[in-house]
Amino acid sequence: MDASITMTGFVALYVFMLAAFAGWVIIGHVPAILHTPLMSGSNFVHGIVVVGGLYALLNASTTQEQVIGFIAVLLGAGNAAGGFAVTQRMLAMFQTSDAKPMPHHLHGHVHAHAKVHHLKKR
Amino acid sequence: MFANLPQLIIGLADLAAAFLFLYGLQRMSSPATAPSGILVAGFGMVAAVLASFLYVFSVSAAARPHLAVNIGLALIALVVGGGLAWFSGKKVAMTAMPQMVALYNGMGGGAAGAIAAVELFGNKTQGATQLLVTLLGALIGAVSLSGSLIAWAKLDGVIKQPLRIKGQQAVNAVAMIAALAVGGMILVATLGGAPVLLATPTWIYVFFGLALLFGVLMTLPIGGADMPVVISIYNALTGLAVGLEGFVLQNPALMIAGMVVGAAGLLLTLLMAKAMNRSVANVVFTNFGDAPKQVQGAIKGSLRPVEASDAGIAMRYASKVIIVPGYGLAAAQAQQKLYEFVKLLQAAKVEVKFAIHPVAGRMPGQMDVLLAEAGVPYDLIFQLEDINDDFASTDVALVIGANDVVNPAARTEKSSPIFGMPILNADKAKQVYVVKRGEGKGYAGIQNALFYGDNCNMVYGDAQAVLVKMIEAVRGLGAAAA
């Protein structure tokens, strides 16, 4: 079985075109409330560049290539790890009225009211 | 068969990664499913990174003697780069998120540029198309790196003022044309032509230098309020650079991930530009974030200052309140106090909603994250188009730290620089309370007709201090009644 990939000219353009279209449609469905995590999340996705960096570094045969490849992996890994960490942190903050733990300094009916309000809205 | 196995595993892992990225982003269409979305995308990334170590089975003959060293370097780079970014990402304050995202984005652009540099210096590309795409990816990646770093410095306050020089646009154009010319020279020289003046590797250094310079020059003159657009543009550019280098390395996972991000960045750029009432061309090519110069007619009426405690009590006895938070709220670190006040109102059976303008913050959606961090449930947070009709049936609109985004001149004054910009219709509420530090103008440097309306009351003071007074006043009522 041949596992190697060769992409030239038009095949590459088709891949680019379909990916751009899919990205446009998928991102278009993300609500504005999530635009910051969306941006950091898409930032994380282009952190896949670290894979390209690894390829370049593992194939390095001169000191110059080793240095530049090392920089590529260093930056790419930072891009991916940082993008993931901040996106995960931000998304964990978005809670609905229902799931909210009760604040200790308020009376119980606050929570009940918030719940009713939430249900009425739906 | 077995010789092909590593290639097969790499191919499958990359395919899985590409799918999981798309699926993960698709799950971001709701705050409820989004956390699982980033998680599955993370699994894709880990799989792709682990699989790429299988490249050791297929390295070129020249690289084989260096393999042990290269693997060591790769592990060190992964641990150091990934580790530092991971811990900084876990620690960073939510208000500092825009500069952090700019920084990570610059790293991605730099990585793409570095990969291109390895290809160029090692003369590894095959044919004119690959070489051209490598150069293009190198250019875009380098611009994205230096531009994002300047954006980071500006957002972080390292660079405080937009720096402008005379003939800025001409200088920028010269830098760009020079970079393109050197790129063309490298192209010709690599394809067999004779290099002019300098040896080709030297020209490659010059090429990267010019590209980095252009990124710096392009970003330096940009004002703070245009940062949402700038970050979106660089996000798109890094994605594009990664996609192009993916083609050079014949790696479809990079091509797909890069292009998806490129499209996402472009979409957000257009959304932000629209919310600021500017065309993208205007944002990219002319004075970023310049305060517009214009003469405007005097606004009739006077400002009516009221006490914070009176404003708080008025809201306590209202039945519907909409809060319009702006960046001033975050600057005063008053989100927590605001939600504390909101919970008091809710306890008194007041219906409270938050109305968010698309450019409230230093990057798209930042205000939503800041409110979520303060504990505000997301079903209370509404975007402009979903809530604008509600103001007319609302008793009180509370504007905190926002100015231009509630200026009715955007609807009525043809001469106003913000005419046509979508605004929140806070002026349509029965009563409006504006919390403001002083009588200063908004970012656009124009008077706000809202403040002079018959239904408007000004509460002067630091947002944090004002909210403390409001909370005390409403608590006092409860104590008096009991």
Rounded to a whole number of angstroms, the distance from the CA of B231 to the nearest CA of chain A is 9
Do B378 and B353 contact (CB within 8 A), yes or no?
no
| Spatial distance between the Cα atoms of B12 and A97, rounded to a whole number of angstroms | 42
Q: What percent of chain B has pLDDT over 90?
A: 48
| Spatial distance between the Cα atoms of B243 and A26, rounded to a whole number of angstroms | 18
Judge whether residue A76 has pLDDT over 90.
Answer: yes
Residues of B with catalytic roles: 404
Do B207 and B138 contact (CB within 8 A), yes or no?
yes
Q: What percent of chain A has pLDDT over 90?
A: 64
Q: How much is the pLDDT for A15?
A: 92
- Write the pLDDT tens digit of every residue in B133-163: 999 999 999 999 999 999 999 888 888 777 7
For the residues B188-201, what does the mean pLDDT come to? 80
Band of residue A74 on the pLDDT scale cut at 50, 70, 90: very high
Beta strands in B147-269 (DSSP E): none
Q: How much is the pLDDT for B2?
A: 62
Band of residue B229 on the pLDDT scale cut at 50, 70, 90: confident
Q: Which residues contact B129 (CB under 8 A, 6 or more apart)?
A: A8, A9
What are the φ and ψ backbone dihedral angles of A36, each rounded to 5 degrees?
-70, -50
Instruction: For chains A and B, count residue pairs whose Cβ atoms are closer than 8 Å.
Output: 423
Q: What number of helices (H) and strands (E) belong to chain A? A: 5, 0
| A112 against B469, higher pLDDT | B469
Q: Which ipTM was obtained for this model?
A: 0.87
For the residues B266-283, what does the mean pLDDT come to? 81
Q: How much is the pLDDT for A89?
A: 94
Q: How much is the pLDDT for B29?
A: 92
Band of residue B191 on the pLDDT scale cut at 50, 70, 90: confident
Band of residue B14 on the pLDDT scale cut at 50, 70, 90: very high
Is the CB of A51 less than 8 angstroms away from the CB of B60?
no
Q: Is B138 on the interface with A (CB under 8 A)?
A: no
Q: How much is the pLDDT for A111?
A: 42
Contact list in B for residue A23 (CB cut-off 8 A) is: 25, 259-264
For the residues B102-108, what does the mean pLDDT come to? 94
The DSSP line for B288-335 is TTPPPP---PPPPS---B--HHHHHHHHHT-SEEEEEE-HHHHHTT-H
For the residues B63-73, what does the mean pLDDT come to? 89
| Spatial distance between the Cα atoms of B101 and A39, rounded to a whole number of angstroms | 8
| Spatial distance between the Cα atoms of B273 and B281, rounded to a whole number of angstroms | 9
How many residues does the structure list for chain B? 482
Q: Which range in A104-108, B40-44, B183-187 is most confidently predicted, on average pLDDT?
A: B40-44
Annotate B163-192 with three-state secondary structure.
CCCCCHHHHHHHHHHHHHHHHHHHHHHHCC
Do B423 and B413 contact (CB within 8 A), yes or no?
no
Residue of B nearest to A15 (CA): B256
| Spatial distance between the Cα atoms of B458 and A45, rounded to a whole number of angstroms | 45
- Write the pLDDT tens digit of every residue in B381-435: 999 888 999 999 999 999 998 888 888 888 888 777 778 888 899 889 999 999 9
Residue of B nearest to A36 (CA): B365
Band of residue B285 on the pLDDT scale cut at 50, 70, 90: low
